[in-house]
Amino acid sequence: MSDSSAGVAGQSVGWLDRARIIAPPGFNRWLVPPAALAIHLCIGMAYGFSVFWLPLSKALGVSAPLKCGAEVGFWQSLFVSDCDWTISTLGWMYTLFFVFLGCSAAIWGGWLERVGPRKAGVVSALCWAGGMLISALGVYLHQFWLMVLGSGVIGGIGLGLGYISPVSTLIKWFPDRRGMATGMAIMGFGGGAMIGSPLAALLMKHFASATEVGVWQTFVVMALAYFVYMMGGALSYRVPATDWKPAGWTPPAALVADPMITKGHVHARRVWGIPQFWLVWMVLCMNVSAGIGVIGMASPMLQEVFGGQLIGLDLRFSDLDKTQLAAIAGVAAGFAALMSLFNILGRFFWASLSDRIGRKMTYVVFFVLGGLLYFTAPASAAAGSKLLFVAAFCIILSMYGGGFATVPAYLADLFGTQMVGAIHGRLLTAWATAGILGPVVVNYMRDYQLGLGIPREQVYNQTMYILVGMLVIGLICNLLVRPLDSKWFMTPEELAKERQLAHDRTQSSGASTAQAGGGTQGSQVLVWCAWLAVGIPLAWGLYMTLVNAARFFY
């Protein structure tokens, strides 16, 4: 039995285990990012599930919702089969996605580090695609509890495992470009809805009939397509040997001297007691809370703030008729698409920039620039400057996405790379918290302001100042982050044991490096094929997003 497949300490190794996927000398590391993208582009559809809410709200009535009686509350709606669900009820699935993403990533992050990204990716594919099939059954039988179980719980677990599965692997393959590497993968998560939402709309239109809204059939088709893509990505994962580094690369002197980049490794079980972990937790939570609250209200915010100005009329939102409201809704949809595009591009741009200016400084930019943009947004609205208002929120959303993409590299700098995937999983509980905190602040402040009789075009002003306060808290926490004390690091014996449990091995001397982007001609062809497999759907999604974004300008 070869060294790559041999068990450790007498344990047998399955074909999905980490020991089976240690890359041989000369492996082209540029094959790994497309594998990560294949998974993230699929699970990223969680962002786009709102495309199903309106059709599902009339799943029985088809042309119009079949309303439930006043006696049917949320718990009853889980089991009723003779009336339609409300959009507010369906929205709980969106919340469950990110709650279970954070929880599953925190619970199984350590397991993922030991079994490797291939097994975690396969489990993620089974959960995400299987959850959609269960949801399809729930729509067919009109049982909401099946949708909650399928996509909300099981799919949410698949989200968590799929989200963190490439993090540790990419950071180890790209020690010279940690930010760029994680930015590439996490860009895919932001791009999932860019592909999935228009695809779902086309499929529902195809399957719709006089008696069907076409949702359950769409779930089945997308689940099967996602399963194929995600399995392809999972089975393509490879991990580097312990002593691997890019050919000819040595850490720059500035990198070696940077006190924020640790030389040790921290065990995931210890991070709960480390102050720096909680400071970074707050950094992510505040950045995400501010951004996610705006994402959920982007379309109504633009409509209520500018009203008829969006279509060249000097009328407030409350003075518009149905035809005019429909017209500005189309413009607002273009605004939402534009923000989505900046969210995606920001993940790659800011994460790559962090390789040059450092993670801590990158977050300083997020909080200072973001705070200024939130603070000046009410003035832009009062001046009637749509361009300044929209530009501000596009930049804000780029930094929202950039925060997700930069934080894995921040963790690797602080806590080392051995268990960064597990530590990242624990940190994602901040996302689960922000997924509740951000929308609650924005939505309830809006309702409170309306209740006071404040005009619709002014109800977001106080909210912007609250979001500035969140960013100030995040800035303070970020500035307090200091290099770790050596007492938190694993001892050489603990590190050796952890590497043994993870089936790590070294390559033979003289073969410990591989070409940064080279390899044989055959491997280059394979790289191009892999990138085309994820690039073509990504390009189609980008095209559809640009078409929708054009509504804002025309």
DSSP codes of every residue in 374-427: HHHHHHHHHTT-HHHHHHHHHHHHHHHHHHHHHHHHHHHHHH-STTHHHHHHHH
Fold classification of 258-504 is Growth Hormone; Chain: A; (1.20.1250)
Residue extents of the structural domains in the chain = 20-244+525-554, 258-504
Question: Beta partners for 192?
Answer: none
| Mean pLDDT over the full length of the chain | 85
Distance CA(502)–CA(17), nearest Å, equals: 9
- Contact yes or no for 242/506 (Cβ under 8 A): yes
286 phi/psi in degrees, rounded to 5: -70, -40
Q: How far is CA 469 from CA 347, 390, 446, in A?
A: 23, 21, 17
Distance CA(351)–CA(186), nearest Å, equals: 10
Specify the 3-state DSSP secondary structure of 513.
strand
- Label residues 85-108 b or e (16+ Cβ within 10 Å = b): bbeebbbbbbebbbbbbbbbbbbb
Token pair of 501, please? 């449990």
> What is the CATH number that goes with domain 20-244+525-554?
1.20.1250.20
Q: Count of CB atoms within 10 A of residue 380's CB? A: 19
Mean pLDDT along residues 543-550 = 86
Q: Count of CB atoms within 10 A of residue 492's CB? A: 9
Helices (H) and strands (E) in the chain, counts: 21, 2
Token pair of 527, please? 């790289």
Residue whose token pair is 């695809």: 199
- Contact yes or no for 399/374 (Cβ under 8 A): no
Q: What angle do CA 115, 189, 146 make, to 5 degrees?
A: 80
Mean pLDDT along residues 104-116 = 89
Specify the 3-state DSSP secondary structure of 460.
coil
**Closest C-alpha among 150, 233, 235 to residue 189:** 233
Distance CA(85)–CA(95), nearest Å, equals: 16
Mean pLDDT along residues 241-261 = 72
pLDDT beyond 80 at 419: yes
Which value, in Å, is the radius of gyration of the alpha carbons in the chain? 24
pLDDT at residue 426 in the model: 93
Asked whether the domain spanning 258-504 has the same topology as the one spanning 20-244+525-554, the reply is: yes
Question: Beta partners for 246?
Answer: 514
Q: How far is CA 7 from CA 16, 168, 522, in A?
A: 13, 22, 30
pLDDT at residue 507 in the model: 53
Q: How many CA atoms lie within 13 A of 237 on its CB side?
A: 34
Reported as a single tens digit per residue, the pLDDT across 485-518 is 989 999 989 888 888 877 666 554 334 444 444 4
DSSP per-residue codes, 58-80? TTTTSSS--PPPTT--HHHHTT-
- Could you report how far apart the first and last alpha carbons of the chain are, in Å? 65
pLDDT at residue 459 in the model: 76
Reported as a single tens digit per residue, the pLDDT across 173-231 is 998 888 998 888 888 888 888 899 889 989 999 999 988 999 999 999 999 999 999 99
Percent of the chain scored above 90 by pLDDT? 42
Q: Count of CB atoms within 10 A of residue 274's CB? A: 18
pLDDT at residue 25 in the model: 84
Distance CA(363)–CA(368), nearest Å, equals: 8
- Contact yes or no for 288/431 (Cβ under 8 A): yes
Question: Beta partners for 259?
Answer: none
**Closest C-alpha among 123, 126, 120 to residue 169:** 120
**What confidence tier does 522 reach under pLDDT thresholds 50, 70, 90?**
low
Mean pLDDT along residues 39-44 = 94
**Would you put residue 239 in left (φ > 0), alpha (ψ -120 to 50) or beta?**
beta
- Contact yes or no for 341/545 (Cβ under 8 A): yes
Reported as a single tens digit per residue, the pLDDT across 321-342 is 888 888 887 787 788 788 888 9
Reported as a single tens digit per residue, the pLDDT across 376-401 is 988 888 888 888 888 999 999 999 99
- Contact yes or no for 371/472 (Cβ under 8 A): yes
Say which residue, 318 or 277, is predicted with more confidence.
Answer: 277
- Contact yes or no for 402/423 (Cβ under 8 A): no
Token pair of 358, please? 């450092």
pLDDT at residue 96 in the model: 85
| CB-neighbour burial class of residue 373 (10 A; exposed 0-12, middle 13-18, buried 19+) | buried
Token pair of 374, please? 């939130």
